[in-house]
Amino acid sequence: MMDPDSIGALLARRGVSRRALLKYSTRLAALMALPAGSAEALADGLARAKRQSVIWLSFQECTGCTESLTRSFNPTIENLIFNIISLDYHETLQAASGTAAEAARLAAMAANKGKYVVVVDGSVSTRDGGVYSTNAGHTNLEILRQTAADALAVISVGSCAAFGGIAHARPNPTGAEPVSAIITDKPLINIPGCPPLPEAMAATIAYLVSFGKIPELDHLRRPRSLFGDSIHDRCYRRPFYDRGLFARSFDDEGARQGWCLYELGCKGPVTYNACATLKWNGGVSFPIQSGHGCLGCSEPDFWDQGGFYRPLSSNTTSTGTVVAAAAVGGVALGAVSALVARRRARLARQETTP
């Protein structure tokens, strides 16, 4: 007998067949790179689960992450995520405001103590007690600590919540920090990107609801299934990189031929995300397909990596992390980037030698 409060029962009342749920789960299982047969298990888990209470906190952010999630889920299978979660608090989407809105957050926390998921977009101001970003008379820092205290898990969506993002860029006047710097005693998942892929958000939440655990994460706490490959590894222009064929300006013959954008600053070799395969706007395209290099927006401190249009091999930022990774990647992937780096270094030495 189906639990009347389960997601399966809810969907049945709304006329959504189990076959449609299975179809949705097939997509989620593919996104999460789950083995064959997992779609059925995922659908079964979702159908038995109760709707997951989600409290969404928006801090120092631009609302792009919410836009990404909501704008991309038109009717049909994509919008099933909103049947799987109970979005109990979201400043941008909820009808309530002021005291009533805050009361809704506190009521959801009390009703689902220890069971709700906190989703955060935006970084957290910490300088001077966090006074540079407040809401309803409370700092973001206070609200985060209070709300996360009884949460089941925390999901940082977008590069601001995951890594500090643009607010964290030098000189970081508000003392912006990622959620992971503040919440250290809860399971935490990062889904970075500026904005993140909507499929990545939906699939991660659905996995959590269905299997009751967090998916396998990488060293930056990103779901490995979605952030396991670099943009470069999955890029359709990769064969040109391997053959040393590069566009050198945005309107030269190489650009017209669709050659690799490495020398125009593409950060694909050091950026881990699924844009090259899932793409954007319902699978229409992604930046590289549109003729622009990857900005590396799902990596920490992407804003401070020496310029979007400077090749990785010429990066001379104080951190040095990107150029090192590029050189290593170049060796592993055919030594092209390391060769370009050496060539550029030689040219630079010639230019500076009197």
Contacts with other proteins by CB under 8 A lie at: 2, 8, 12, 16-24, 26-27, 30, 33, 36-37, 39-40, 47, 74-78, 80, 234-236, 238-240, 245, 257-259, 276-278, 282-283
Which residue type does 223 have? Answer: P
Burial of 10 (0-12, 13-18, 19+ CB in 10 A): middle
Q: Is 188 helix (H, G, I), strand (E, B) or coil?
A: strand
Structure tokens at 301: 């401190």
Which residue type does 303 have? Answer: W
- For the bound state, the minimum distance from the C-beta of residue 120 to other proteins, rounded and expressed in Å, comes to 27
Cβ nearer to other proteins, comparing 31 with 322: 31
Which residue type does 306 have? Answer: G
- For the bound state, the minimum distance from the C-beta of residue 255 to other proteins, rounded and expressed in Å, comes to 12
- For the bound state, the minimum distance from the C-beta of residue 190 to other proteins, rounded and expressed in Å, comes to 21
Q: How far is CA 316 from the centre of its chain?
A: 26
Q: Provide the 10 A C-beta neighbour count for residue 354.
A: 2
- For the bound state, the minimum distance from the C-beta of residue 30 to other proteins, rounded and expressed in Å, comes to 4
Cβ nearer to other proteins, comparing 201 with 341: 201
Structure tokens at 286: 């992604």
- For the bound state, the minimum distance from the C-beta of residue 256 to other proteins, rounded and expressed in Å, comes to 10
Report the C-alpha gap between 98 and 90 in whole angstroms. 12
Cβ nearer to other proteins, comparing 1 with 95: 1
- For the bound state, the minimum distance from the C-beta of residue 150 to other proteins, rounded and expressed in Å, comes to 34
Q: How far is CA 265 from the centre of its chain?
A: 21
Report the C-alpha gap between 219 and 226 in whole angstroms. 13
Cβ nearer to other proteins, comparing 234 with 342: 234
Beta bridge partners of 52: 85
